[in-house]
């Protein structure tokens, strides 16, 4: 296949891992891989280049405007002006969805979403999406002409460097957005977080409704910290307001693939499992021997979280 | 829409700048507690059971009711595209307190993808005079997650997705938008599209009175011919995508199951050692 564009996201000069994952897969599928950035290109050109992008099309600083309408309009204008990528890949992220949705209307083409595998067949890209809680895989490709748009879930591919030099920066002008560009970011808030990010951590310890009450979530945080990992949650306790949404693992939360996932007091609903069953090792603690989570656990402990976890924490602390 | 109508509509509010007319997109879906199956002929979800309101949309409905009530004036209109003239889920939302509903149901819409759905919803919303259009960030059954942004683009409106809080402030909304790091505070002039996350508000249970009242609330049923959408852009043909394969995903095997006799933590630590985590 000819050319794939990857919508790359960055914050603080650092490219998001999902974008590096997409570049890595794209260069296995296409002759030419180029990145699109909503922001300045220079600070990220080296990292994008090292993962296979030869060019970075950058809008320049977007100020306090939202990314979605600006980047979608800029890509649509470039395509109208003669640029001809065969496909554009986006991560299933807050901004990735916004850009893909708006671009789809501008180009009059659908978006193939929730993709976890991308392959080539008969010269076109085929995306595979898990449905029914990951029990069935559906593969879809574009039947029409024009640019293929794919929204890919994080952690679908491993990011690897290509050894390429810095990408050449090329300007991607943003046309006048009219009313669509009227929203303004007036303030940005970062939630306190210590330790590794949930979707990048080597160990994830998650708690569910089996913890019984919000205060008991501190056990999960303590255990995660002792293991150098991140603390996750089922949607039941996010909806109950025990922990912020950013901790949610599953279909409507984060997809995680750590070396070890520890599920504590989580039943194992399909919507939860679709977000963690790619973990290398799964440990589950649940007092109900029939809980579905045991069906995918490498080590299942039928027991009370209020007994097992404190002992585990104590034993780990004793080791120092 | 007749431009004069629009002028008159706005004119009518000079006395009260804060009245809020809100459209909420409500998807009616098969009960997730009763998972459907794929139709082996068409590779889409079978939809022959009674549909219910997507729980994800109950948050948008609740949010709209709160904003309308805070404004003291305005109407909440539901918009849904669904097969077989399904109104069950819309009635639930009307019972919560929404004022009226527009249902688009047409055989020609079977197989419509997210972009086609957005075209239909945008055309239906165009029949109203909404200050604010609410949707969920993603539906429970299709979870494409692109429809709200596609609707906004089709209507030429600004949008804020992943809202975890919305405040009306004159002709604007102030929205807390979920981000990777935390949240952004976004100010957006109306009319606008905002998509809300689950849990933003606590959806109310309909009262008995609400359920009775819902039965007589206006339900405008329209077909594709009533909307400004071309038949080529919807249905199976409108999709521009083709399913090439459907296959069961590889199963993960269960491993060792032990019952805690007071020493299960030791077994866990042994495994963590084996994996070189500790
Ligand atoms: C469209 C849709 C999307 C969804 N998306 C997500 C998602 O992204 N992520 C997600 O997690 N869920 C999601 N859900 C919700 C999901 O279906 C479940 O409701 C949820 O995962 C249940 O959370 P839980 O396991 O904490 O609670 P429960 O199912 O209530 O399980 C609690 C478990 O704790 C055990 N337990 C109780 N006491 C103890 C004790 N003392 N010690 C040990 N074990 C104990 C019980 O045996 C039980 O198995 C979604 C649902 C829908 C419909
Ligand atoms: C398993 C599965 C996978 C699919 N994959 C794709 C795909 O990759 N690409 C694609 O284009 N289509 C796909 N579809 C089709 C798509 O789900 C439908 O076209 C659907 O009508 C719109 O998408 P959604 O529900 O996923 O929308 P989402 O974007 O997830 O919906 C967001 C919100 O928009 C509103 N909304 C959406 N639909 C309606 C409606 N009918 N009435 C009222 N409000 C509504 C609701 O507020 C909803 O919560 C898929 C369907 C299934 C079942």
Residues from chain B contacting residue A104 (CB–CB below 8 Å): 115, 146, 150
Helix axes B147-155, B114-125, angle to 10 degrees: 50
Q: Which of A96, A97, A146 to mutate to test the interface with B (most CBs of B within 10 A)?
A: A97
pLDDT tens digits, A117-149: 999 988 889 999 988 777 889 998 888 778 999
Ligand 1 atom with the shortest distance to the CA of A291: 49
Residue ranges of E strands in B72-190: 76-81, 100-104, 132-136, 159-169, 172-178, 182-189
User: Ligand 2 test: best mutation among B28, B114, B234, B238, most atoms within 8 Å of CB?
Assistant: B114
Residues from chain A contacting residue B244 (CB–CB below 8 Å): 121, 126, 139-141
**What is the ipTM score, two decimals?**
0.88
pLDDT tens digits, B123-157: 999 999 999 999 999 998 889 999 999 999 999 99
Q: Is A133 in the pocket of ligand 1 (CB under 6 A)?
A: no
Cα A285 to the center of its chain, rounded Å: 27
What pLDDT is recorded for position B1?
36
What is the distance in A from the centroid of ligand 1 to the CA of A149? 33
CB pairs under 8 A between A and B: 263
A4 Rama sector, left if φ>0, alpha if ψ -120 to 50, beta otherwise: beta
What pLDDT is recorded for position B35?
59
What pLDDT is recorded for position B3?
37
Digits of tens for pLDDT over chain A (320 positions)?
899 999 999 988 899 999 999 999 999 999 999 999 999 999 999 999 999 999 999 999 999 999 999 999 999 999 999 999 999 999 999 999 999 999 999 999 999 999 999 999 888 899 999 887 778 899 988 887 789 999 999 889 999 999 899 999 999 999 999 999 999 999 999 877 778 889 889 999 999 999 999 999 999 999 999 999 999 999 999 989 899 888 999 988 888 999 999 999 999 998 899 899 989 999 999 999 999 999 999 999 999 999 999 999 999 999 87
Alpha-carbon distance values, B59 to A263, B76, B133, B136, B202 (Å): 28, 13, 13, 8, 7
Distance CA B117, CA B137 (A): 15
What is the distance in A from the centroid of ligand 1 to the CA of A235? 7
**A245/B contact by beta carbon, under 8 A:** yes
Radius of gyration of chain B (CA): 22
What pLDDT is recorded for position B2?
38
What pLDDT is recorded for position B18?
65
Nearest CA to ligand 1 atom 38: A210
What pLDDT is recorded for position A145?
79
β-pairing, B159-169 vs B192-196, is parallel
B97 Rama sector, left if φ>0, alpha if ψ -120 to 50, beta otherwise: left
Distance CA B59, CA B197 (A): 8
Distance CA A214, CA A208 (A): 10
Candidates B89, B109, B73, B115; CA nearest to B26 is B89
What pLDDT is recorded for position B8?
37
Model pTM score: 0.88
Place of tokens 């989580």: A266
Q: Is B32 in the pocket of ligand 1 (CB under 6 A)?
A: yes
From the CA of B252, how many Å to the nearest CA of chain A? 6
Residue A112, SS3 per DSSP? strand
Q: Is A235 in the pocket of ligand 1 (CB under 6 A)?
A: yes
Nearest CA to ligand 1 atom 31: A267
Stretches where chain B sits below pLDDT 50 are 1-16
Distance CA B58, CA B203 (A): 6
Candidates B139, B172, B145, B1; CA nearest to B60 is B139
**A171/B contact by beta carbon, under 8 A:** no
Residues from chain A contacting residue B247 (CB–CB below 8 Å): 136-137
């Amino acid at each position: 296949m000819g050319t794939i564009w990857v919508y790359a996201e960055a914050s603080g000069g650092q490219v998001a891992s999902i974008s590096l994952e997409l570049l890595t897969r794209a260069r296995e599928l296409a002759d030419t891989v180029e990145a699109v950035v909503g922001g300045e290109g220079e600070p990220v050109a080296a990292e994008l280049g090292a993962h296979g992008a030869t060019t970075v099309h950058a809008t320049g600083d977007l100020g306090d405007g939202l990314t979605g309408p600006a980047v979608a309009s800029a890509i649509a204008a470039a395509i109208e002006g003669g640029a001809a990528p065969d496909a554009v890949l986006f991560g299933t992220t807050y901004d990735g969805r916004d850009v893909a949705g708006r671009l789809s209307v501008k180009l009059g083409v659908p978006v193939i979403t929730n993709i976890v595998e991308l392959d080539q067949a008969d010269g076109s890209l085929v995306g595979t999406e898990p449905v029914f809680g990951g029990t069935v895989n559906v593969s879809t490709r574009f039947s029409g002409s024009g640019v293929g748009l794919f929204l890919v879930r994080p952690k679908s591919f491993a990011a690897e460097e290509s050894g390429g030099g810095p990408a050449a920066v090329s300007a991607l002008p943003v046309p006048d957005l009219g009313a669509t560009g009227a929203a303004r970011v007036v303030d940005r808030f970062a939630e306190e977080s210590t330790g590794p990010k949930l979707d990048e951590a080597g160990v994830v310890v998650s708690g569910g409704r089996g913890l019984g009450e919000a205060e008991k979530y501190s056990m999960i945080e303590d255990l995660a910290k002792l293991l150098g990992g991140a603390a996750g949650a089922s949607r039941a306790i996010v909806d109950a307001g025990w922990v912020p949404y950013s901790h949610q693992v599953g279909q409507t939360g984060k997809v995680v693939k750590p070396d070890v996932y520890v599920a504590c007091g989580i039943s194992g609903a399909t919507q939860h499992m679709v977000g963690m069953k790619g973990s290398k090792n799964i440990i589950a603690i649940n007092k109900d021997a029939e809980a579905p989570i045991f069906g995918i656990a490498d080590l299942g402990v039928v027991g009370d979280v209020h007994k097992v976890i404190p002992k585990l924490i104590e034993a780990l602390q004793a080791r120092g | 829409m007749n431009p004069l109508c629009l002028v008159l509509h706005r004119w009518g509010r000079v006395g009260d700048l804060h009245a809020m007319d809100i459209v909420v997109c409500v998807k009616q879906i098969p009960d997730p507690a009763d998972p459907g199956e794929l139709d082996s002929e068409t590779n889409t979800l079978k939809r022959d059971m009674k549909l219910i309101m997507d729980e994800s949309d109950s948050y948008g409905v609740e949010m709209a009711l709160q904003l309308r009530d805070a404004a003291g004036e305005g109407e909440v209109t539901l918009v849904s595209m669904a097969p077989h003239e399904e109104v069950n889920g819309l009635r639930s939302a009307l019972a919560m307190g929404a004022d009226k509903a527009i249902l688009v149901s047409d055989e020609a819409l079977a197989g419509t993808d997210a972009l086609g759905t957005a075209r239909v919803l945008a055309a239906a919303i165009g029949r109203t005079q909404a200050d604010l259009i609410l949707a969920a960030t993603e539906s429970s059954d299709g979870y494409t997650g692109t429809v709200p942004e596609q609707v906004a683009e089709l209507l030429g409106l600004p949008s804020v997705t992943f809202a975890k809080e919305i405040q009306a402030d004159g002709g604007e909304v102030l929205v807390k938008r979920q981000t990777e790091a935390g949240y952004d505070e976004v100010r957006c002039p109306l009319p606008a599209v905002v998509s809300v996350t689950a849990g933003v508000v606590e959806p109310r249970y309909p009262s008995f009175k609400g359920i009775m009242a819902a039965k007589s609330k206006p339900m405008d049923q329209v077909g594709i011919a009533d909307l400004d959408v071309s038949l080529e852009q919807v249905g199976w043909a409108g999709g521009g995508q083709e399913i090439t394969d459907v296959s069961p995903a590889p199963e993960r095997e269960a491993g060792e199951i032990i019952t805690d006799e007071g020493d299960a933590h030791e077994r866990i630590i042994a495994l963590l050692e084996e994996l070189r985590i500790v």
